[in-house]
Structure 1
Amino acid sequence: MSQRPIRLPSLDALLAFEAVARAGSFEGAAAELALTASAIAKRVAGLEDRLDQPLFLRQPAKGLSLTPAGHEYLPQVRQALALLQAMPLHQRSGPQRERLRVSSTPTFARQLLVPALPGFATAHPQIELELTLSVPLLAEGDAGADLEIRHGAVPDDIASVQVLLRDHLTPLAAPALLARHGRLQVPADLLALPLLRTPLQPWAPWLRAAGLGDAPEPDDGPRFVDLGLTLAAALASQGVALARLSLARHELAEGRLVQPFALTVPAERHYGLVVHRPSPAADAFVAWLHAHCRTVEAENSSATA
């Protein structure tokens, strides 16, 4: 014997039936569910067709009343609706949050973005921020990102209006490293110390500004393909890093890194922001991030003044 097919009604029809049973009219249920009375009536009629029996008596003088089948069906429907309403995933409170996916270079994210994110969350609680990392040298970004923070030359790769942060470079070292090698009197003394190297930032601009233009690029030790790794090596007393003040400002403030010389040079590569999918959430993040970067630039200016 073939099994009788299950005749499941729609959830909208069940909600309409339960609301009409409480309100006693299509109009009352329509006001509660933000629908028209006609739409409610059609949903109830469709439910009755599916069940193949009436659930309400429609009497012009007395209005609507439950039939015996309706009386039997109502508590079953209410029990089913209560089970659905009790599920955690169905209990989203407040307005829907807008998700924003931001891709960033690793060091910018760790040193500049993440520490400041509580301020963004407080100002924009309706935005759910999702942060991913890219690999600058390998040009590996996040194809699904709404916004992308890049590190590159200006204006070759990033339009000048998109520049987030115009930074300055200066040698930074751990106090323990300087204590082992003695006090640095003049920039030339740096050449006796291990200089950390990264393809993302050559030493040449600072060496030229310090009158050491004939000094070659360092070619000993590990080659760090990440500005954050270069900072980590400097913190571990492995050498001197030519670092961005913006990325190392916390380490400088805490004394974990020191700046042997006041000389700084403008960075030739800058952080910029590219918007792939405009939205109100993207606009809010762009405005907040630009304001945050202006604050960082102001802190750097006062520190080097």
Structure 2
Amino acid sequence: MAAITAKETRRGERRGHGINHKSECRQYTSIEQALGDALAAYGVTGLAIYADGAVHRFDTTDKAKGNRNGWYVCPSLEVAVYGFWHTGEQHTVTTGGKADPAAAAEARLAAQRAREQRDAERRAQQVKTAEQARRWWATAGAADPSHPYLTKKRLAPHGLRQRDTMLLVPLFYDGELVNIERIYPDGAKKALFGGRAKGVAGLVGKLVDADRVLIAEGWATAAALYEAIGVPVVVARNADNLEPVARRLRQRLPDNVAITLAADDDRFTDGNPGTTKARLAALAIGAKVLMPTFCADCQRCTDFADVVLCRKERSL
């Protein structure tokens, strides 16, 4: 746990998920003042601070309004702990000097209490979101094959459902529907708020009796691959989720079922996250990686859905 003790923190420059503090020694007259200065370095100002031992949440400046990703707790009038859920940062601040052993112990307990409260809130929200997803799925109709997104991608619905203008992609965890990804007519995609994200997946095709399964990021890529080669494709939604999905799928399927990672080639993005994380996921389960092949002069395509659509357009 990082500690900021009895110092006046000024606004620094963000570096990744951290911050570069410039400080000078200073005694604070209250923990509220010390914590206020520490938070100001992250752009959080005007926050009412309560030294009441309870965990308090606040919005961070790098996320949309209402995100409540920041938290703090003042277990005593000399010590405060604060952090940011989305970056994993956690810091301790005191009114002056180094925290004594008792104050340090209070800070550790306060941080643990904050984590437990956050975990409980997250689990409760996941249950609530799963219930919403099941209601939406049960009351939605079959997807319109002429939906603008399907028309643009030249894909069949493959079991998707539709609510108003939104296509619904069901997302499962341990065989249960726990979330839904919404695809809007303009192609924007968004899961339901607060639902489980890590390890959840959709599916195009059927896993029953399959001897080979592909894992792809997006639904359109999965649908394009399924239409092209007839192999079931698991939808991981994004590059970060490829490895969690791959690990769970490998545990679930018989050893004789081959799993292949169908990577996006984010060749125009620094670090090529699609390819990099697909290879890491494949390495984690001993699988192969399938890469899209682009036309020699193509400066647009990055995934299998793009390639299929591009070739259809060129054949006209």
Shared fold (TM-score greater than 0.5)?
no
TM range (shorter): under 0.3
Could you state the TM-score of these two structures normalised by the residue count of structure 2? 0.20
Could you state the TM-score of these two structures normalised by the residue count of structure 1? 0.21
Greater fraction of residues in strand: 2
Greater fraction of residues in helix: 1
Structure of greater relative contact order (alpha carbons < 8 Å, 6+ residues apart) = 1
Pair member with larger Rg: 1
